Amino acid sequence: MPNKKTLKKTKKPVSVEPKEELVLQPPRGMRDILPGDQPYWQQVRKITEKAAADFGYRRIDIPLVEFTNLFARGIGTGTDIVEKEMYSFNTKGGEKVSLRPEFTAGIARAYIQHGLHVASKPVKLYYTGPCYRYERPQEGRYRELFQFGCEALGENDPIIDVQIIQMGWRIIHQLGIRNVTVNVNSIGCPACRKSYRNLLVSYFESKKQKLCIDCRRRLEKNPLRILDCKEDKCVQVKMNAPQSIDHLCDECRVHFKELLEYLEELEIPFELDPTLVRGLDYYTRTVFEFFPHAGAEEKKKSALGGGGRYDGLVRSMGGEDTPAVGFSLGLDRLVLEMKKLGVRTYKEQKPRVFLAQLGIFAKKKSLRMFEALERSGIMVAESFGRGSLKSQLKVADRLRVELTLILGQKEAIDGTVIIKDMASGNQEIINGDKLIDEVKKRLKMGGMVVRNQ
Ligand code: AMP
């Protein structure tokens, strides 16, 4: 507590904020995830983390904010993400920084900075957390979005690409989303992509008048992205565009062929999608996306996740030559799909015991008793703020617990507790020392597994 002197000296804080109306909602495209939805998110967390452990991926956390030029260099200046969607700002110290719009660029930065390449290859890392993209919000598209993803750095073999696809596939399946197809494509390496890009440019140049305004601009900066455009007129034009898989160099062709063979081996349903290019500059060779099947009345659904190879990224940032492949899943979309499909999530744990207290001495003692029960693995509900026994028992009824423990003034002094069986209404006084054993016995909880599922 400050004394009077210091109180006198302390200046009143100056109010710098003009009195603006308080808007009781987060910024557009951002939202709260309320307790009612948490079982879905918990399920997603459980299954993604289990898969990461099973496939040998170790967690990495990177800052939410990085220097803007990391994303500009890594993802590419001509991409939608960097050009239009980043939350960028200057710090008070004048640094130009951005909220991460994705994780891969930051992970490549960390990989180089911490010399992670010294570990045996591939170096397998996984991440999870929010990213930020200033997109036009709609269902399944937010400005604050959550991703889980894996990166395998230092391995060129297409078997790793397939393992990465298998992992994403398995996670989606284990979440109860069954009708999913993997779309795959190969966009080649910088060598073969150069001539393919030229072919594309001359094809689209000849149809320029039929393209949307954005695609006319893309023609200069990022012609591959035209293949990605969803505008009707561009969809028509791109139907006859040259396809990258017809223009791969020998090495890229073999790489892709092996990848498809491995996918067949795993019996993962896939479709070749010549228009799949993904929006980021760093991709090379393999690109893929997971699509849930749309119902008869629905239009094509958005991807649940995607990824690909990025063999040049680490090198382009100043690291050594590091072939790499990764994927990320959109957790918001997984949860949406799970809800639409009515997937069952884990059951929230419910307390089977209620602890009621009466009188100030009993109230104090009940704090310790609560702790002792919890430590023994017995989940307890209480309503310590309520004074009357009647209102506490009402809460116990509502929670449908099996036992209520009542600690009144007399019991607190005697070191006893009343156990009430809620089904029969029978009450018994027992010695406080035997409480844990008695409760376990009555709940028929043998061994250590004492929480209900
Ligand atoms: P990307 O690497 O950009 O394809 O993102 C990977 C996954 O994140 C996508 O397949 C989506 O499931 C998800 N995702 C991307 N952008 C958004 C967004 N704005 N809102 C929600 N999920 C998104």
378-418 per-position pLDDT tens digit: 999 999 998 899 999 999 999 999 999 999 999 999 999 99
Among 276, 326, 284, 282, which Cα is nearest to 303's?
276
Task: Write the residue with the smallest CA distance to atom 6 of ligand 1.
Answer: 305
Paired with 405 in beta bridges are 355, 419
Q: Are 152 and 122 in contact (CB under 8 A)?
A: yes
pLDDT at residue number 220: 85
CA–CA distances in Å: residue 70 to residues 112, 181, 208, 224, 319: 13, 33, 33, 22, 13
Which ligand 1 atom is nearest residue 133's CA?
Answer: 19
Q: What is the mean pLDDT of the chain?
A: 92
Q: Are 386 and 358 in contact (CB under 8 A)?
A: no
Q: Which residues contact 266 (CB under 8 A, 6 or more apart)?
A: 162, 166
* Digit-coded pLDDT (tens) for 228-274: 888 888 989 998 999 999 999 999 999 999 999 999 999 999 999 99
pLDDT at residue number 16: 59
Pocket of ligand 1 (CB under 6 A): 102, 133, 135, 140-142, 145, 147, 303-306, 328, 330, 332-333
pLDDT at residue number 80: 85
Quote the CA–CA distance of 213 and 217 in Å, as a whole number. Answer: 7
Q: Are 171 and 223 in contact (CB under 8 A)?
A: no
State pTM to two decimals: 0.88
pLDDT at residue number 306: 97
Quote the CA–CA distance of 379 and 396 in Å, as a whole number. Answer: 13
**CA-only gyration radius of the chain, Å:** 29
Quote the CA–CA distance of 26 and 37 in Å, as a whole number. Answer: 18
Distance 330 CA to ligand 1 centre (A): 5
Task: Write the residue with the smallest CA distance to atom 10 of ligand 1.
Answer: 305
Which ligand 1 atom is nearest residue 334's CA?
Answer: 12
Paired with 39 in beta bridges are none
Handedness of CA 234, 240, 244, 245 (dihedral sign): positive
pLDDT at residue number 15: 57
DSSP symbol at 81: I
Which ligand 1 atom is nearest residue 307's CA?
Answer: 2
Distance 95 CA to ligand 1 centre (A): 27
Domain positions in the chain: 38-189+249-341, 353-445
pLDDT at residue number 14: 56
Q: Quote the CATH superfamily of domain 38-189+249-341.
A: Bira Bifunctional Protein; Domain 2 (3.30.930.10)
Q: Which CATH class is domain 353-445?
A: alpha beta
Task: Write the residue with the smallest CA distance to atom 8 of ligand 1.
Answer: 330
Residue type, 75: I
User: Nearest-5° angle of CA 443, CA 447, CA 451?
Assistant: 50
pLDDT at residue number 347: 80
Which ligand 1 atom is nearest residue 290's CA?
Answer: 10
329 burial class (0-12, 13-18, 19+ CB within 10 angstroms)?
buried
Which residue has tokens 């891969």? 104
Quote the CA–CA distance of 143 and 29 in Å, as a whole number. Answer: 5
Quote the CA–CA distance of 365 and 316 in Å, as a whole number. Answer: 64
Distance 56 CA to ligand 1 centre (A): 24
Quote the CA–CA distance of 247 and 202 in Å, as a whole number. Answer: 15
Distance 116 CA to ligand 1 centre (A): 27
pLDDT at residue number 1: 45
Q: Are 55 and 150 in contact (CB under 8 A)?
A: yes
CB atoms within 10 A of CB 101: 24
Low-confidence ranges of the chain (pLDDT < 70): 1-18, 446-453
Quote the CA–CA distance of 55 and 193 in Å, as a whole number. Answer: 32
Q: Are 274 and 214 in contact (CB under 8 A)?
A: no
449 three-state secondary structure: coil
Hey, do 38-189+249-341 and 353-445 end up sharing a CATH topology, with the first three levels equal? no
* Digit-coded pLDDT (tens) for 335-392: 999 999 999 988 878 999 999 999 999 999 999 999 999 999 999 999 999 889 999 9
